[in-house]
Amino acid sequence: MDISIIGSGYVGLVTGACFADVGHNVICVDNDPRRIETLQAGKVPIYEPGLEEVIHRNVSAQRLRFTGSIQDGVENSQIVFIAVPTPQQPDGSVDLSFIEKVAREIAGVLTSYRVIVDKSTVPVKTGEKVRESIKRYNRHGAEFDVVSNPEFLREGCAVADLMRPDRIVIGAQSEHAIDLMKKVYEPFMAPILVTDINSAELIKHAANSFLALKISYINAVSAICEASGADVEKVADGIGMDRRIGRTFLNAGIGYGGSCFPKDIAAFITISEQLGVPFNLLKEVQRINADQKIRFLKSIREALWVLRDKKIAVWGLTFKPDTDDLRSSVAIELVSDMVKEGAHVTVYDPKGMAKAHEMEALAGAKFASSALEGVEGAEALVIATEWAEFANVDLAIVKEKMTTPIIFDGRNLFNPETMAKLGFHYYSIGRASVTPH
């Protein structure tokens, strides 16, 4: 199939690369000339495991190319995917201006039948608006269909998620569009669910909200574990063994972050209110999430008494491991809060340092070039992201380098008993804190 993808961000780029890898001819479009130049020069502007290799392979095979022109993309493809950002507005609603602009631009260059597919996460009923907009600006009166095809990939394992998805959701009205979409996804051998457009759009918000709810659920349980002396990891194992619940997304921590969950939950709340059926349960999900960071900071304050002038190392800045993405990362908020309280914070992240240097919220922090350099002379270590590099560190060396061996583990990387034996004061989430044996 000949496919174009408008928007070469995380979703657009990974989707384009994977579509090319299964044999389609793909044109990735972006309105940022620097991004297109970077990609044309063979460089990949984001870190995502495996992505660079897939892109290089398919550019060499001439199945993947990059352009700044929507017209080029639309003219040379049967199916046009829209994968542009849908950022959050201050009131929680979604800014759909990028989608609207792209819809208008597509309409302006549409000369014959195309399937226009929305892959960006959008509020229910956006497909209807896209259709109306294209119809209005369709100068040549060309035929088209609008399809909703939400993307479920996770950062850090986006290529694997795209190549082996749990399901493909196709929201469409026209049989012809459904047939073409099925051809696009045939090589992926995943179950395909065909729905109407509104349902497909809702599936994305409902799925992400449910996952966030699962995280907030276990985080709320972690608070009860701390208050009662239970162990949240054991509780999560016990409830997760019920196949109806499942163990995934039951990892207690400092709360969810990233470019999707916070934005999508806020959007779903706003949509439900606009539809006159407020989804108040999700407000509690948000509250628990915010509270998780506050409780963690409280435990740091309680243990260190005052933060002013304390030398604190922070491991992990990205919102999750295996990405360089710092957007809506709880780790950044933690650093910024501790700096504001007068602590001397040194940060280290395996892939996030380049972007971290540009962040205003980290202006008051120092940057280390390795995890061990970060803990040199530290009075406490805060672990904010569960990178494998941290889990595999030699803790004896860490202890030797620290002035006082106190660890606040926001991701439950280590076993408390082992930490006590190694001589650490160790605080984690939803488990009793331990002191050196």
Binding residues for ligand UDX (CB under 6 A): 151-155, 208, 211, 215, 249-251, 253, 256-258, 260-261, 319-320
**260 in active site:** yes
- Using the minimum distance from each CB to ligand UDX, give the nearer residue, 113 or 210: 210
CB 289 within 8 A of CB 301: no
Q: Are 416 and 209 contacting, i.e. CB atoms less than 8 angstroms apart?
A: no
Q: Which is nearer to ligand UDX, 7 or 73 (CB)?
A: 7
How many whole angstroms separate alpha carbon 437 and alpha carbon 307? Answer: 26
Phi-psi region at 125: left, alpha or beta (left = phi > 0; alpha = psi -120 to 50): left
The amino acid that residue 38 corresponds to is T
- Catalytic residue selected from 18, 28, 225, 260: 260
> Least distance to ligand UDX from the beta carbon of 349, Å?
14
Question: Of 333, 334, 328, 330, which is closest to residue 255 (Cα–Cα)?
Answer: 330
Q: Which is nearer to ligand UDX, 153 or 338 (CB)?
A: 153
Measured distance between the N- and C-terminal CA atoms of the chain, rounded to whole angstroms: 64
Comparing CB distances to ligand UDX, the nearer of 77 and 222 is: 222
Give me the residues paired with residue 383 across strands.
315, 409
CA angle 189, 264, 205 (to 5 degrees): 45
Q: Which amino acid is present at 386?
A: E
For residues 298 and 302, give the distance between their C-alpha atoms in angstroms, rounded to a whole number: 6
Pick 349 or 379: Cβ nearer ligand UDX: 349
Strand 406-409 relative to strand 425-427, pairing: parallel
**Catalytic residue positions, numbered:** 260
